[in-house]
Amino acid sequence: MNNFIFSGYGHAAGRHEITNADIMAAIRKEFLKGFREDKIIRSDNYQAFLKNHPTVSPFDYFAGYKMGFFKRRHVRPFPPVRKKLFYAETSLELGVKAIHNAISDAGLQIGDISAWFASTVSPHEQAPGIAATIKAFFTDFDNNTPVVSLASGCSGFNLNLQHAVEYLKSHPEAKHVVVAHTETMSDFLTERIKFVPLVTFGDAAAAVVLTRTESHTREGLLHISNFQDMHMVDFVGVDKASNLYMGDSVIKDRAIVNMSKAGSDMLQTTGWETTSVDLFVPHQTGNAILIPTAKNIGFTDKQLYTDAQKLYGNVSGATIPIGLSLLHDANKLKPGMKILSAVAGVGGKYGAFSYLVPETHQTKASVLHKKDLAGKTCLITGSTGALGTEIALEMGKRGASLFLHYAHNEKAATKLAEDVKKQGEKATCIQADFTNKEDLKALVDTIFSRTDKLHYLVHAAGISENLNKQDIPNEADIMQINCFAPLEISKKLLPLLKETVLYIGTAAEDIPIAGFAGFTASKSCLHGSAGSAAGEYISQGIRTIYYMAALLDKGTSENIPPKDAFNFMLKNGQETPVPVNETAYRIVSSLYIPKVLGVQNSYEGPMVVRRDGYVLETDV
């Protein structure tokens, strides 16, 4: 029989951890209001609690032990304000990270995913739907698998899970789909001054890979239900100004009723007794709802699992899959475990599902883009430089056949070719001094003689002023190597080009570095000229990318005096130099994947400009 199991789990959260102490500090500074510390101190319950927990503060007692929230993660520093929003991660980035982790955990390649389901009520933009944009971070331009975006909060994951099962049932050729929910709830708190929402909500995403399997017995996702309670329609939501509104008492009362009913009905449908259930993994706004709900269904405190809310806060529909991901990461999902999940929330939507953890599902770590470039050919100029070397190794991992240009370092080029060949791919070294016209002609002639198509052309060749040495290259050579030669090579190889030409620029074009005027001028010239040529290239189906990298930890950046490097990073918002291998990974992905995490895109006509490792300042 067909079963539907969770074969991969993943989650991600905002980078800033917000503790209860942080919130209390904001209350004392009068950024937030509403907490009566004196009232808690005088309460008999707190005084009794102190006998066994003498170090717990009044606020941690109320927010943590009573409400159920000890930590939460935000995409921006606390407290959230609108000005910080521009520089923060969005629900899109969190969703991409969570899905990346889930697919890797499942041991799958991107091509194994047959459909993409994603939900949120805090999208990074109104259209297109978030699933379409999330998919663009994973697949190439030719992938036409369907996407489903759902504007739903608390029940978003549960609803999409049902849609995913229906999709797999109606598409027998499909085996794996992604189901994700992502949320940046702090987006809705920038105008709030009452402390409760800041205690409650966090920013996070979670995803599962739902896989069809064959077995003689039922396992995995057994039953799922979704309903709507019209009594709750007007009592929780987000207005047009992106402000959260909540009718606390109505939410509490109706959520307890709805979750209790959905959970009890699911037990009956599945044929489980409450005592046989190992864990109740719910979602709601805190202990005031979860504890009575668990009691109504018949669960004990030990069966109620609330680690997700304790560590991440209320992250809407991501709470339940985060809980499952935490259990998986802790190796607590044992074969045969019975899990019941229930949810209620915004829009009055509520529901439940039952899940029987399958027999050990063998997973293995995957390289998501392994052999994506099998059958593709690429020329990399400047392949022996720090960045060029890493680009070549990354392309080799992905299965590309390479032409490795070098200027003088034959030993490094030969070793690089050997390293690529160890990965099972072809690599041919070609020497050419870009200041020598005969060498340039020979390089082009060699490419034409060796192949009838060149899918990718990556210009990593470059030279800069070297303030640490006496033999500083002259401005004419810098301009020739950094600008004129790459443009000439691209134009002459145009008849062979099939997909993408990528030029590597520098953040120094946006934020000048003292002493590197020649280098910056040559890259600016390349930038403008590449943009002009992009129109001709796109008419022949060839994409042009201009890639502006921030300060890297190796390569040209080593020529910059430490003081100037520090000032440069301070101006462009870099905390540390970017690892060159990470930039190479993103550059290679840029060649054939529409969007890349950690890169800011803009468009100059048909040319895509990508800024890696920094964000231009803006007046928000």
| CATH code for position 545 | 3.40.50.720
**Residue 468 pLDDT > 80:** no
Clarify whether residues 77 and 189 are in a common domain. yes
Predicted confidence at residue 185, as pLDDT, reads: 95
Predicted confidence at residue 83, as pLDDT, reads: 67
Domain boundary among 356, 390, 408: 356
3-state secondary structure of 183: strand
Pairwise CA distance, residues 262 & 254, whole Å = 12
Clarify whether residues 339 and 385 are in a common domain. no
Predicted confidence at residue 389, as pLDDT, reads: 98
Angle at which helix 485-493 crosses helix 437-450, to 10 degrees, equals: 30
Q: Is residue 562 part of a domain?
A: yes
Strand segments (E) across 391-440? 401-406, 427-431
Clarify whether residues 343 and 419 are in a common domain. no
**Residue 142 pLDDT > 90:** yes
pTM for the predicted model, two decimal places? 0.93
Pairwise CA distance, residues 186 & 315, whole Å = 10
At 605-614, the pLDDT tens digits run 999 999 999 8
Closest CA to 312 of 203, 208, 182: 203
**Residue 468: domain span:** 377-612
Clarify whether residues 59 and 110 are in a common domain. yes
On whether the CB atoms of residues 68 and 306 are closer than 8 A, the answer is yes
Clarify whether residues 417 and 282 are in a common domain. no
Clarify whether residues 454 and 337 are in a common domain. no
Clarify whether residues 350 and 394 are in a common domain. no
On whether the CB atoms of residues 204 and 180 are closer than 8 A, the answer is no
**Which amino acid is present at 406?**
Y
Domain boundary among 321, 356, 391: 356
pLDDT band, very low/low/confident/very high, at 561 (cuts 50, 70, 90): confident
Q: Is residue 427 part of a domain?
A: yes
Clarify whether residues 292 and 397 are in a common domain. no
Q: Is residue 362 part of a domain?
A: no
Beta bridge partners of 457: 379, 501
Pairwise CA distance, residues 214 & 175, whole Å = 11
Q: Name the domain count of the chain.
A: 2
Q: Is residue 364 part of a domain?
A: no
Clarify whether residues 351 and 381 are in a common domain. no
Provide the token pair at 5. Answer: 């199991």
Clarify whether residues 28 and 159 are in a common domain. yes
Predicted confidence at residue 470, as pLDDT, reads: 52
Domain boundary among 302, 325, 356: 356
| CATH number of the domain that residue 228 is part of | 3.40.47.10
Predicted confidence at residue 367, as pLDDT, reads: 75
User: In the chain, helix, strand, coil percent, each to 5?
Assistant: 40, 25, 35
Provide the token pair at 428. Answer: 């041919």
Q: Is residue 239 part of a domain?
A: yes
Q: Which of 47-61, 261-275, 464-478 has the lowest mean pLDDT?
A: 464-478
Clarify whether residues 216 and 245 are in a common domain. yes
Clarify whether residues 99 and 134 are in a common domain. yes
Predicted confidence at residue 362, as pLDDT, reads: 61
Angle at which helix 580-590 crosses helix 386-397, to 10 degrees, equals: 50
Q: Is residue 367 part of a domain?
A: no
